[in-house]
Amino acid sequence: MGEVITTHLIEGTPNGIRSIQISNRNIMTFVIPRADLTKAKKLDELKTSCLYILFEESSSIKPKAYIGETDNFIDRVYEHNQKKDFWETAVVFISQANSINKTEVLYLEYLAIEKGLKINRFDLSENKQKPKKPNVQRHIKDSVEGFFRDVIYVTDFINLPIFKDSVNIKKSNKLFYTNYRSSEAIGYYDGSGFTILKDSIISKDTVPSFGWKTKREKIIEQTAKTVDNKLVLTQDYTFKSPSTAADFCIGSSNNGWLVWKNKEGKTLDEIYRQQE
């Protein structure tokens, strides 16, 4: 079943402020480049209770993000503009019906931080304290958790994988495997690229001709640890291409479309490029 998502370029430019609405849903999202904060002051919708995320869009191995809540995003973001250097973009989630109160948005923040820490794709060290779970009535809990599911959906839509979970993928038959050069890696392919799953075993060394050894070592430092003399990923990690993902796991140059295979032995190429 499809979804209708409306994106409005508020300033008429593709790189400026934009709003995102899902048909028949209560959530409304604003994506705000840091350079456009002055323009954001004109948006009355941002002067209400909301959940927000500040994040960096650089090519960091593990980019930083900050998750917060506020009664007035405009006032709050100007404090962050003075005190937090890392972020480049803000994403703000509000209720179109203006129906989220302080208790509910605190619970929303709790859910977001808990999920973000569990997924571990972004560095959330700017969130100095993990909030305690608010005590909310059951019907409110159900409503806020439904709203948060829409938050997860929208962040995936705008390619902000801070809450992107691989649980459903692991339960499906869309997994691919490779086991060259002592690697035992598992992953999946989607619009974001090829994601290597947590607990995959990767080769501890590289062949002499490997072209990006230093970068690989930096990624390993932040995403893997040695367990029983094996190098094991401690989090999911996404590469733009299947071949780069394969190179990382195996420690040599590979055609990822051929070395990633499903349980039936079919290659990624057979599944995704030879369907017709």
- Residue 276 pLDDT: 54
**Does the pLDDT of residue 257 top 80, yes or no?**
yes
What residues contact residue 19 under an 8 Å CB cut-off, 6+ apart?
7, 8, 10, 28, 29, 30, 31
pLDDT for 209: 95
pLDDT for res 166:
76
Backbone angles phi, psi at 195, to 5 degrees: -100, 125
Tens digits of residue pLDDT in 184-241 = 999 999 888 999 999 999 999 999 999 999 999 999 999 999 999 999 999 999 999 9
Q: Residue 89: enclosing H or E segment and its boundaries?
A: strand 89-95
CA distance 151 to 138: 20
What is the DSSP pairing of strand 176-178 with strand 193-196?
Answer: unpaired
pLDDT of residue 207: 96
pLDDT given for residue 130 in this prediction: 85
Highest mean pLDDT among 45-49, 65-69, 116-120, 190-194: 65-69
Condensed to tens digits (0 to 9), the pLDDT of residues 3-44 reads 899 999 998 998 999 999 999 899 999 999 999 999 999 999
Going by pLDDT thresholds of 50, 70 and 90, the confidence category of residue 86 is very high
Higher pLDDT, 169 or 164: 164
The percent of residues in the chain predicted with pLDDT above 90, rounded, is 78
In the prediction, which pLDDT does 186 show? 96
Query: How many CB atoms are located within 10 Å of the residue 148 CB?
Result: 21
pLDDT band at 266 (very low <50, low <70, confident <90, very high): very high
- Reported as a pLDDT band with limits 50, 70 and 90, residue 59 is low
- d(C-alpha 266, C-alpha 170), whole Å: 18
Residue type, 138: R
Q: Where are the alpha helices (DSSP H) in 161-240?
A: 167-171, 213-223
Does residue 193 sit in helix, strand or coil? strand
CA dihedral of residues 85, 52, 162, 120 (deg, nearest 10): 70
Instruction: Give residue 58's pLDDT.
Output: 72
What are the phi and psi torsion angles at 187 (to 5°)? -160, 180
Q: How far apart are CA 183 and CA 230, in angstroms?
A: 9
SS3 26: coil
Task: Give residue for tokens 């506020």.
Answer: 70
d(CA 210, CA 30): 42
Position 172 scores a pLDDT of: 67
- Predicted local confidence at residue 134, as pLDDT: 86
Q: What average pLDDT does the chain have?
A: 92
Question: Which residues neighbour 204 within 8 Å (Cβ) at sequence distance 6 or greater?
Answer: 182, 230, 231, 251
Please name the residues in contact with 54: beta carbons below 8 A apart, sequence gap of 6 or more. Answer: 65, 66, 68, 77, 80, 84, 86, 87, 89, 90, 126
Q: What is the pLDDT of residue 97?
A: 83
